[in-house]
Amino acid sequence: CFQGYGSNYIKKAGYSPDGLVQMAIQLASFRFFGKQVATYESSQVRKFLHGRTETTRSVSQSSEAFVKAMGSRSQSRSMHNENDESIREEKLTLLKDATEYHSKYLKNAARGHGVDRHFFGLYMIADATESSGVDLFQNPLFLRSKRWRLSTSTLPNIPGFGPVVEDGVGIAYEVKPDCCFFTITARKKNNYTKPFKTLIEEALFEIQTMIDLGKPLSSKL
């Protein structure tokens, strides 16, 4: 359980709780793997008859800009530039852009405007008509984009769920008013869970430091 803060603090700072936690996970992932990896967040489409889930992709151009601005773990510790107002404000702007884009994607996915279920439907049609060799589904970029090394969901937090690939990580989380719960899983042989836990905690505290050194907290409308 991360007890540094929760949704109350995040909302007062003007951010989406889910969006901010997802960007903290992205930063942790970037520092752990040395790059961003395909990330799945489960989103609900319950407003549709028999609707279940759609994919919200946490990796975007906005999240890439944010994590690269924050830098690697060693860069973060060596630069200590949070007190530089211009650098701090740039990072906060990128964080804002990334969280807002993520929230927009999440809402669109819930409305049935995601891309992954659409692609899955096309794949099923191609498979049923013995056309599974369609170039799109064999494209290396398409295949890499669907290899979920990072699978995340707000349900269920306990007992959580396992990674979906051998070298992946599963992260179930819940953002409560004053804390955040995480259940992190990975193959035992990979020894990923403890380092990932530390990196998520560091990312959340680093974001908090930037916010606290910035503008005074104001209520989110």
Please tell me the pTM assigned to this model. 0.89
Q: What is the pLDDT of residue 190?
A: 97
- What integer pLDDT is reported at residue 8 of this predicted model? 98
Closest-CA residue to 63 (of 106, 19, 31): 19
Q: What is the predicted pLDDT for the residue at 164?
A: 94
Provide the residue-wise pLDDT of the chain in tens; the chain has 221 residues. Answer: 999 999 999 999 999 999 999 999 999 999 999 999 999 998 877 777 777 788 899 999 999 999 999 998 777 655 556 668 889 999 999 999 999 999 999 988 888 888 888 888 888 888 777 765 678 888 898 888 889 999 999 876 678 899 999 999 999 999 999 999 999 999 999 999 999 999 999 999 999 999 999 866 555 54
Residue 91 in contact with residue 136, Cβ under 8 Å?
Answer: no
CB 38 within 8 A of CB 47: no
What pLDDT sits at residue 78?
A: 53
Q: Is 171 helix (H, G, I), strand (E, B) or coil?
A: strand
User: Looking up tokens 């007062």, which residue turns up?
Assistant: 12
